[in-house]
Amino acid sequence: MSFIPHTKEDIKEMLEVIGVKSIDELFSDIPKALKPQSFNIPYGKSEFQVTQALHNLSLKNSTGLVNFVGAGFYDHFIPASVDAIVSRSEFYTAYTPYQPECSQGWLQAIYEYQSIICQLTGLDVSNASLYDGGTALFEAMMMAIRQTGRNKIIIDSGVNLIYRTMLYTYTSNLSVEFVEIPVVHGQSSRGELFKCVDDKTAAVILQNPNFFGAIDDYGDVVSRVHKFGALAIASVYPVSLGMLKTPGEMGFDIATGEGQSLGIPLSFGGPYLGFMSVRKELVRQMPGRIVGATVDSDGKKGFVLTLQTREQHIRRQHATSNICSNEALCALRAAVFVSLLGKDGLKELAEHNYQKAEFAKEQLACLQGVEVKRSSPTFNEFTILLPRNADKVVQQMIEKGFACGFPLGRFYKGMDNYLLIAVTEKRTQEEILKFVASLKEVLAC
């Protein structure tokens, strides 16, 4: 099956117009020597065959487990209306709204998305989306380096290790000096941090809640950072912003994060949504597309892509970023999701996550040999210390039908017995109790 409408006659007529005898002639600029040495692709199949085959493959993934794994990527419910909207042809089969007059729907939707991100993070301006939370953090760091002309980056080890690893990868060929701040009792060590901040510091990067689920108020850090003319960058979890103090309230200059929790399916790692918002002074350093409101020749309000002189298609090697295609459709998901929930719905969502996690904590705390880490408050994820290696426990729990959490030993030396547990609004009391009971059994034997 192919999607080509051309009949033999069509092709004949078109070749005549072009003035060539055959389609091959159109490829005559390709030297014989460069013809493919092989092209062993299986022959085409019917829609039924491919759909069937891939449906069978999908059944080889087990999504039946009751999920308590988060680690920055969460199993939230997605209202059906979100899917309905993003499957509108006029949204998903369009491309970047370069031509505003025939793209007002997209442009307004992105403007609304930007506004929502600003509201969530408490900052002034947002861009139209970046690839994911990790690349967004990288872009934020580069902004700080450009803005300050410095190259020392202080990063808390409570920042998701996946993201830290990405930063190291992206900068391996650049001269950036990283200092990692240890986490003490689940929180960023102020002592260490304050020691390191100096006038060579371009930015301090923190995460809230941090990777261990711990909530912090970084206000003190931020003011210290600003004293030295450095920027403060926060990586945040948007659902938590239905409850937690915002980056804006803490004084951060830049907020970034992974938007997956806002109506985007887990989908085995992507497509996701990198968001970024900044103080307005930084807008011309911001990467990515930005939509702005303006008026048409009749004075009627409309929306356009703006401040494009930051971007690669105009500034080329001098652009603030190389990003071109972004994650617009995921940004639309986030906009629809948040609009649907509204102010009160988002609060409720955060509340349910917080309360269910607290409930799970209490239940787990009753388990023999299990220590729930409570040195600092948490949102919907927390760490527990097990009497033995978490890996094995995880394995046994899988057999009982639970993805029971993320073993911290995988990322942190000396934490082999630690388990990171996420509890979202989807987890019912019944599931949580069964989960605790099963864990009890596993630890018993």
Ligand X SMILES: Cc1ncc(COP(=O)(O)O)c(C=O)c1O
Q: Does 377 bind its own copies (CB under 8 A)?
A: no
Q: Of the two residues 31 and 414, which places its CB atom closer to another protein in the complex? A: 31
Task: Give the span between the Cα atoms of 325 and 364, in whole angstroms.
Answer: 45
Where in 87-146 is the site for its own copies (CB under 8 A)?
87-89
Q: Of the two residues 78 and 94, which places its CB atom closer to ligand X in the complex? A: 94
Task: Give the span between the Cα atoms of 255 and 128, in whole angstroms.
Answer: 14
Q: Does 324 bind ligand X (CB under 6 A)?
A: yes
Where in 41-80 is the site for its own copies (CB under 8 A)?
47-48, 51, 77, 79-80
Site for ligand X (CB under 6 A): which residue of 325, 413, 444, 445?
Answer: 325
Among another protein, its own copies, ligand X, none, what binds residue 358 when CB lies within 5 to 8 Å by partner kind?
another protein
Q: Of the two residues 43 and 77, which places its CB atom closer to its own copies in the complex? A: 77
Where in 221-240 is the site for another protein (CB under 8 A)?
none
Q: Per-residue string for binding with another protein, 140-179, x by CB under 8 A?
A: --x-------------------xx-xx-xxx-xxx-----
Least distance to ligand X, CB of residue 324, Å: 3
Q: Does 84 bind its own copies (CB under 8 A)?
A: yes
Task: Give the span between the Cα atoms of 275 and 115, in whole angstroms.
Answer: 12
Task: Find the part of the chain contacting its own copies (CB under 8 A) among 82-90, 171-179, 210-218, 379-387.
Answer: 82-90
CA 277 to chain CA centroid, Å, is 14
Among ligand X, its own copies, another protein, none, what binds residue 156 when CB lies within 5 to 8 Å by partner kind?
none
Q: Are 292 and 303 in contact (CB under 8 A)?
A: yes
CA 150 to chain CA centroid, Å, is 27
Task: Give the span between the Cα atoms of 91 and 84, in whole angstroms.
Answer: 11
Burial-class residue 430 by CB neighbours within 10 Å (0-12, 13-18, 19+).
exposed
Total binding residues for its own copies by CB under 8 A?
12
CA 413 to chain CA centroid, Å, is 25
Task: Give the span between the Cα atoms of 231 and 234, in whole angstroms.
Answer: 10
Q: Which of 263, 272, 268, 269 is nearest to 58 (CA)?
A: 268
Q: Does 15 bind another protein (CB under 8 A)?
A: yes
Site for its own copies (CB under 8 A): which residue of 426, 434, 440, 443?
Answer: 426
Residues paired with residue 255 on neighbouring β-strands, in sequence order: 234, 277
Q: Are 371 and 404 in contact (CB under 8 A)?
A: no
Phi, psi of 360 (to 5 degrees): -60, -40
Least distance to ligand X, CB of residue 311, Å: 11
Q: Of the two residues 19 and 42, which places its CB atom closer to its own copies in the complex? A: 42
Q: Of the two residues 228 and 401, which places its CB atom closer to another protein in the complex? A: 401
Q: Of the two residues 131 and 275, which places its CB atom closer to ligand X in the complex? A: 131
Least distance to its own copies, CB of residue 52, Å: 9
Q: Are 248 and 121 in contact (CB under 8 A)?
A: yes
Q: Does 80 bind another protein (CB under 8 A)?
A: yes
CA 111 to chain CA centroid, Å, is 19
Among its own copies, ligand X, another protein, none, what binds residue 125 when CB lies within 5 to 8 Å by partner kind?
another protein
Q: In the chain, how long is the greatest CA-to-CA distance?
A: 84
Least distance to ligand X, CB of residue 52, Å: 31
Angle (CA) 72-77-79 rounded to 5° is 135
Q: Are 353 and 380 in contact (CB under 8 A)?
A: yes
- Cα–Cα distances (Å) from 39 to 27, 36, 141, in that order, read 17, 7, 43
Least distance to another protein, CB of residue 79, Å: 6
Q: Summarize as ranges the residues that interact with ligand X (CB under 6 A).
A: 324-325
Residues forming contacts to its own copies in the complex (CB under 8 A) are 47-48, 51, 77, 79-80, 84, 87-89, 425-426
